[in-house]
Structure 1
Amino acid sequence: MAKQDDHAHVYARFHDAVNMSPSEIEEWLDTAESRAVGFKRDGGESVGHASGRRIVQILRTPEAELDGGDYAHMRKVVGFVRRHLAQGPHQEHKVPGSRWRSSLMNWGHDPLKD
């Protein structure tokens, strides 16, 4: 598969996985719930929270201006969302405020929108 075709595939999968708008993600990232979940390196910002900020940047960048690092992060987002969704959906996890849902939302996916 040519790199251009691979990029088109990754771009489409990313936009399937991320079902929140940039403004929805930013609003979510400002909440205490967002900051309370996820793996934190060195006790700082969680990996998912940092990813959410990067997702907003990618969503606001014209497709023609995305670079290899952006596509690598898009692959990472798709993988995380798929793995996390495979862990559920259990009804108790779908309740607003669950850590499962909060983690997914840090990565730009709200399972209640499905």
Structure 2
Amino acid sequence: MVKDNETVIEEFNELVNMPPQELEAWLKEGSSQSSGGRKIIEILKKNPNKDPAAYEEEDLAHMRKVVAYCKRHLAQEGKAKQDPESKSARSLKNWGHNPQKT
């Protein structure tokens, strides 16, 4: 079952807890090569007020991926919160979620 856009937007805004500047800085580091993260930056910058009506279908499609990825990894990995250098924590940060902030 596909989530409605309203739910996706709400969950995206809850899970993506890194502001664009922080995510950009992270993605510039050597440990990150995420093109998905760059798309998140675009979405955050073009709609800083998080107006649901301002998201395009392409944005929503990527937001769905981000939500699914983050939820799946957060459900499987307790280590991401405990060890900020773990592969899981670094991977979540590539997708805009800093487990140390939750």
Same fold (TM over 0.5): yes
* 1:19-98 matches, cutoff 5 A: 19-35=17-33, 49-62=34-47, 63=51, 64-90=53-79, 94-98=82-86
Gaps of 5+ in 2: none
Cα distance in 1 between the residues matched to 2:85 and 2:12: 24
In the superposition, the TM-score normalised over structure 2's length comes to 0.84
Alignment identity in percent?
43
Cα distance in 1 between the residues matched to 2:30 and 2:85: 11
SS at the partner of 1:108? coil
Deviations 1:9-32 (A, max 9, x none): 221111011010000100000011
- The structure having more radius of gyration, on CA atoms, is 1
| Structure 1 segments of 4+ aligned residues over 6 angstroms from their partners | none
Gaps of 5+ in 1: 1-5, 36-48
Number of aligned residue pairs: 95
In the superposition, the TM-score normalised over structure 1's length comes to 0.76
**Residue number among 5, 8, 27 corresponding to 1:7 in the alignment:** 5
